[in-house]
Amino acid sequence: AIYLEYEGDKNNNKVPDLEEIGIKYLKGDGDFRSDECIELLKQADVVVTNPPFSLFREYVAQLVKYEKKFLIIGNVNAITYKEIFKLFKDNKLWLGASIHSGDREFGVPDDYPLKAAGYRIDNNGRKFIRVKGVRWYTNLDYKERHEDLILYKKYSPEEYPTYENYDAINVNKTKEIPMEFKGHMGVPITFLDKYNPDQFEVIGLGISNSGKEIGVKPYKEEHKLYRKNIQKRGAVDGDLYMITNGEVNVPYARIIIRNKRL
């Protein structure tokens, strides 16, 4: 493993030339948890990187531990990780600007197996895969994070059912958050793309143990049979659920929020 060191423009051509970038060799394999990498981290003002998704929690924990400013790539579902969500709730972490949907293309090594759902090989033979649900995770502030989400929908009990096991209404689309509703609301995790901490308060996450922490009750006795069936799809106690058309309906992970302006 190597690292690069650039100490500034020495020949005044305003370009970081190869000879101005010093290549340094690490003793180990460059694992971010190794002592030598931690020493490099300590020197950093801002960390900008694309960490391994499978070690995302561990990587963020390290950045928090060393109190670093950061801008890193992660999958949108990392919002639902217990430890990561807690940082969102405490306003120590948020989604960054510019990527709020869709998929993004990543260059991969020549020997990378192209089994992704979407991929491309360019005219020079370079391989790319399309990765869905990509987001920036950051603790750097930016303007859009302080802009209000414009609300237009009116609340009606028919359109916004109440959960069976928590006192909140279910909202299926972020833009359809009712404008005059004062109580708790369950919204999709992509709400955080639009989240302005001055406009909304994040109460908690309505899944599994995180749900239990905010008081989501276990399945009612008469719904446990449904839970048994639903279990195959991964629903557990602590998950929010509602009854639609007489059947138990467990939505995807919901964030419980409250409108601070009402």
Partner DNA sequence: TCAGCAGCTACTCCTCTCCT
Partner DNA sequence: AGGAGAGGAGTAGCTGCTGA
The interface with DNA within residues 237-256 (CB under 7 A) comprises 237, 251-252
Q: Which of 20, 36, 103, 159 binds DNA (CB under 7 A)?
A: 103
Stretch binding DNA (CB under 7 A), from 20-28, 29-37, 38-46, 70-78: 70-78
Give the shortest CB-13-to-DNA separation in angstroms. Answer: 32
Give, for 72, the enclosing helix (H) or strand (E). strand 69-75
Give the shortest CB-98-to-DNA separation in angstroms. Answer: 9
Is residue 52 a contact point for DNA (CB under 7 A)? yes
In contact, 185 and 167? CB cutoff 8 Å: no
The interface with DNA within residues 135-164 (CB under 7 A) comprises none
Helix 82-89 and helix 56-65, axial crossing angle in degrees, nearest 10:
40
Q: Which residues contact 105 (CB under 8 A, 6 or more apart)?
A: 120, 128, 129, 130, 131
Structure tokens at 111: 């020997």
Is residue 123 a contact point for DNA (CB under 7 A)? no
Structure tokens at 22: 């010093």
Q: Which residues contact 82 (CB under 8 A, 6 or more apart)?
A: 205, 209, 210
Q: Which of 41, 131, 140, 151 binds DNA (CB under 7 A)?
A: 131
From 100, 94, 89, 83, select the one nearest 201 (Cα to Cα).
Answer: 89
Is residue 81 a contact point for DNA (CB under 7 A)? yes
Is residue 215 a contact point for DNA (CB under 7 A)? no
Give, for 74, the enclosing helix (H) or strand (E). strand 69-75
Give the interface with DNA as residue ranges (CB under 7 A): 50, 52-54, 56-57, 73, 75-78, 80-82, 100-104, 106, 116-117, 129, 131-133, 172-176, 188-190, 193, 208-209, 228, 231, 233-234, 236-237, 251-252
